[in-house]
Structure formats: C-alpha cells, structure tokens
Chain A
Amino acid sequence: MSGVMKRMGMIFRAKANKALDRAEDPRETLDYSYQKQLELLQKVRRGVADVATSRKRLELQMSQLQGQSTKLEEQGKKALALGREDLAREALSRRAALQQQVTDLETQHQTLQGEEEKLTLASQRLQAKVDAFRTKKETIKATYTAAQAQTRIGEAFSGISEEMGDVGMAIQRAEDKTAQLQARSGAIDELLASGALDDPSGMAKDDITAELDRLSGGTDVELELQRMKAELAGGTDSGGQQAIEGGSGTGQAQEQQQSQDTPKFEK
C-alpha cells in the first residue's frame, strides 16, 4: 500500500518516534541515579567500619598501656620495699609517661566514638533515603512505561493533533521527573559531602602516632614516690606482706603481660 493511508500512517509514526527519541529514557537515568546512591551508601558504610576498626585498635592499645603501667607500678613498689629508691623512681617515671599516653588515647577514643555515632546515624538516614528512592523509582518507571505505551497507542484515543499533545505531555512529564530526581541525588551528594565523610580513620591514626611521638616525661613522679613511701611507712606488718606479694606477683605480672600481648596478634 503506497497511497494516502500508508503515507499518513508512516509520517505519523516517524514524527512520534522522533518526538520520543528526543527525550532520553528516564528509566535509565533513574537506574543510574539509584546505582550512584548505592555506591555512596557503600562509601558511608565503609567509613563507619573504618572508624570502628580504629576505635577497637585504640582500645587495644589502651589496655596494653594500662597493663604495662600496672606492671611498672608494682615494680616500683617492689623496688622501694627493697630499698632501691633509684629503681622505683625510674619505674614511676616510665609509668607517668605511659599514663600520659593513656590519657591522650582516651581523648582520641572519645573523638572517634563521637565520629562513629555520627556516621552510623548518617548511614541509617541515607539507607532510608535510598530505600525510599528505590520505591519511587519503580513507581516512576512503571508510570513512564505506561505513558510510553500510551504514547505509542495514543492515536487510538483521539484525533492526531490531540495525540501529539499527549506525546508532548508524556515527554514533558518524563523530563520533569528526571530533573527532579537529579536534584534529589544532588541533595544526597551534598549530604554526604557535609556529613563528616572525610576518612576519619586515616586522620585519627596520624593523630595517635603524633601523640605517641609527643610523649611527655612524668611531672608527678615525685608525688607518686611520696605516696608510695607513705603507703610503705603506713604499716610495717603489711609492708612485709606487700613485699612477699610483690615477689610472687612478678610471675603473675608476667602472665598478665602475656595475656595482654596476645590480642595484638588478633589484629
């Protein structure tokens, strides 16, 4: 058939296709947008995991330092009981340095914990948003598919000029929705950018290293010494006992030290 009927049909279809082609498929845009959001969510989750790992590492370090500190204190007591004040002084000054480290680590730990909580919250919020987006996306895709089908058979509804109006409106709707979605994904980008998403683990680690390097010597060694002396002088009976305990405690302390070292290999 090459007459008017065929030609009119062909021209109509060509026009309709051209009009449809001009609009990019918003379903693809939607899927791409969703994919992008999932990637962002993944990044946030990784951030949370990184911070948690750093926090655990700090806790481990702190407990190790605490163990060493206890050991040094006992050694100091023992040295004093044996009349070696010089040794006790040395032990206590080392202990003071360790205490300083522990204090610094505690500050770091608190900061990290706060960061972790913030990130966890951000991650949860983002998850909710991404979930909502997925639902919306499927709805819009279905709507668009329907609109497209409707456009294709649109000329079945009414006269041709009205149909072309339908095509235009369907495209307009699709474009509007796409723009809306792009704006939304932009907003999520912003949220992520502002949501404390710098890699805190790397920073924290550097800070800790810096703090460790910046050990300060004990200032309250003398004070500690006085306290211990007073303790020893407090009762000669208990002083002997303490000495005995201190002697048997050496093995215990070593044991303790070992058990505290073990987690080091567990990462």
Chain B
Amino acid sequence: MIVRIMGEGQVKLDDSHFAELNKLDDELLSEMEKGDEEGFRRTLTALLNAVRTMGTTLPDDALEPSELILPAPEASLEEVREMLTDDGLIPN
C-alpha cells in the first residue's frame, strides 16, 4: 500500500505492517478527538517514524495514487482536526 506523508512524499508499505500502524493511527485519532495536544504530537511522530522505517520511499517521479494519507510532521492538532472536517482539507 502507498502512504503519503504530507509535505514529505510517498512511502510504499507492506500490508503486514498495518496491524501495528493501525494501533498508532487509532490512538492518534482518539487523542485528537480528546484534544490531547501532547499525546497527539507524540503519537504522530511515532506513527510517521514507523511508516518511514517500515516502508520504502518512492522516487519523486513515481506516479502512484496514495491509499492513505498522513498529516505533515509539524502539523498541529488543530490543523489536522480542521483537515478532517468537511471544508478543512480543500477550501472551497
């Protein structure tokens, strides 16, 4: 599966890693919903690091659609929350 880290690029991941990543991802979501800024930052960093280490970075000229998308490392909780609301990701 291809995962994009916004602002960084794409990573190709083996499907076997997803169970592990899923845990971090769910954790990130709940922290975001709770408004736990500190936890969110920590989990996001862990998740991004996991994706980077487990996967292989795709070359810049590769043309593959991403199936999953991750916020940029420096994205704040508020930014991610906005992106996940209807108008946040792509402003009209």
CB of B63 within 8 A of CB of A153, answer yes
- Residues on B lying within 8 angstroms of A by beta carbon are 3-4, 6-7, 10, 18, 21-22, 24-29, 32, 58, 62-72, 80, 83-84, 86, 89-90
A164 at interface, CB cutoff 8 A: yes
Could you list which residues of chain A lie within 8 angstroms of chain B, going by C-beta atoms? Answer: 1-9, 11-12, 15, 19, 150, 152-153, 155-157, 159-161, 164
Inter-chain contact B69/A15, CB cutoff 8 Å: no
Contacts of A159 in B (CB 8 A): 6-7, 72
Q: Give Cα A51–Cα B49 distance, bound, in whole angstroms.
A: 80
Q: In the complex, which residue of chain B has the Cβ closest to the Cβ of A160?
A: B6
Q: Can you list 20 A-B contacts (CB < 8 A)? A: A1-B18, A1-B25, A1-B68, A2-B26, A3-B25, A4-B84, A5-B3, A5-B21, A5-B68, A5-B70, A8-B69, A8-B71, A15-B90, A152-B65, A153-B63, A153-B64, A156-B4, A156-B64, A160-B90, A161-B90
Partner of A4, one of B10, B66, B70: B70
Most chain B CB within 10 A, of A3, A5, A15, A19, is at A5
Contact A4 B65 (CB under 8 A): no
CA of A3 to CA of B22, assembled, Å: 7
- What's the Cα separation between A160 and B83 when bound, in Å? 11
Residues of A within 8 A of B7 (CB): 159
State the CA gap A3–B47 with chains docked (Å): 11
- How far, in whole Å, are A19 and B6 apart by their CA atoms in the complex? 20
CB nearest to A8 among chain B residues: B69
Let me know if B28 and A3 touch, CB within 8 A. yes
Residues in B whose Cβ lies below 8 Å from that of A164: 90
User: Is the CB–CB distance between A9 and B66 below 8 Å?
Assistant: yes
Query: B29, A4: Cβ atoms under 8 Å?
Result: yes
Contact of A156 with B90 at beta-carbon distance under 8 Å, contacts A5-B68, A5-B69, A8-B83 already known? no
A8 to chain B, nearest CB (A): 4
* Cα(A48)–Cα(B4), bound, Å: 62
- Using Cβ atoms and an 8 Å threshold, which residues of chain A touch B68? 1, 5-6, 8-9
| A6 in contact with B25 given A156-B66, A159-B7 (CB within 8 Å) | yes
Select from chain A the residue with minimum beta-carbon distance to B89.
A11
Q: Chain B: which residue is nearest A161 at the CB level? A: B90
- Report the separation of the CA atoms of residues A12 and B28 in the bound assembly, to the nearest whole angstrom: 19
Q: Which of B24, B68, B90 has the most CB of A within 10 A?
A: B90
Given contacts A3-B22, A4-B25, A164-B90, contact A155 B66 (CB under 8 A): yes
Note all chain B residues with C-beta closer than 8 A to A153. Answer: 63-65
Q: Residues of A contacting B90 with CB < 8 Å?
A: 12, 15, 19, 160-161, 164
